[in-house]
Amino acid sequence: MTRQERRSKGLIKPSKRYNAEKAKIDRLKGYETAEALTLVKETSSTKFDATVDVAVALGVDPRQGDQNVRGTTELPHGTGKTQKVAVFAKGDFAKAAEEAGADEVGADELIAKIQGGWRDFDVLVATPDMMPAVGKLGRTLGPRMPNPKSGTVTTDVSTVVNAIKKATRLAYRVDKGGIIHAPIGKASFSEEQLGENLQALLSALVKSKPSSAKGRYIKKITVSSTMGPGVNVDLATATRAAERA
């Protein structure tokens, strides 16, 4: 559960600073993308470079297997977050992963290390030939398992590891409530950079629309910074831009 969600459920008491920033935003208005991102930057008052997140509510039923929206996309300006990558690979694939900057590379020994409790990684990548052995980690890793749908089971380990390390590759997955939560950059990014990253994600979601999804697909878009208030994005203009891309 995100901080924004915990606050909306009353699990976190809003601070005076948060209430002051929230007062700058019309909660009933859907802002043009550029204006919404400007407000997010203006209402981000943390001492660190806050992450800018987006929550996209989709008109899908995640309980249905064919409506469990997930995938990856490339953000033109990256997320601004460095991630640790571990790769299950052997031979030339292992060498390619190491040269691409993977933080940990191995085969059976890496599987044993994870079984022993090691978790110092953000993303796991595997080559297809390793998946029968990696499969034994399914219960241990759950959604962190390498998966073809998220692009983390691949023979092109160099490209995938590079994209993850440069933080340009973004994996997304709808949650039980039908919402996609994803980072689209940092508060230090320009409005243009954040806007292009947001459009890249929305375009990917449009292309991932399940054929069985009925009615309005993208139902709500909200952007916010770490510990900052949410800002609603105008659906019509944002959706049209995503569909044209």
Tens digit of each residue's pLDDT (9 = 90 or more) over 55-89: 999 999 999 889 999 999 999 999 998 889 999 99
Q: What residues contact residue 86 under an 8 Å CB cut-off, 6+ apart?
A: 102, 103, 104, 105, 106, 110, 121, 123, 124, 125
Q: What's the rounded Cα separation, in Å, for the pair 162 and 225? A: 26
Q: Above 60 in pLDDT, residue 210?
A: yes
| Of 73, 46, 75, residue with least CA distance to 188 | 46
| Of 145, 164, 156, 149, residue with least CA distance to 102 | 164
Tens digit of each residue's pLDDT (9 = 90 or more) over 224-241: 999 889 999 999 999 999
pTM, to two decimals? 0.74
pLDDT at 54: 97
Q: What is the mean pLDDT of residues 160-187?
A: 93
Q: What is the mean pLDDT of residues 200-218?
A: 93
Phi and psi at residue 88, to the nearest 5°: -90, 110
Grouping H, G, I as helix, E, B as strand and the rest as coil, residue 97 is helix
Residue recorded with tokens 């590759």: 169
For the record, the structure tokens of 94 come out as 């292992």
- Percent of the chain residues topping a pLDDT of 90: 72
Q: What residues contact residue 155 under an 8 Å CB cut-off, 6+ apart?
A: 93, 127, 128
Q: Above 80 in pLDDT, residue 245?
A: no
Q: Above 90 in pLDDT, residue 125?
A: yes
CB-based contact 45:39 (threshold 8 Å): no
Q: What's the rounded Cα separation, in Å, for the pair 69 and 55? A: 14
Q: Above 80 in pLDDT, residue 19?
A: no
CB-based contact 55:179 (threshold 8 Å): yes
What average pLDDT does the chain have? 91
Q: What is the mean pLDDT of residues 115-138?
A: 95
HSE-up of residue 97 (Cα within 13 Å, Cβ side): 26
Q: What's the rounded Cα separation, in Å, for the pair 189 and 169? A: 17
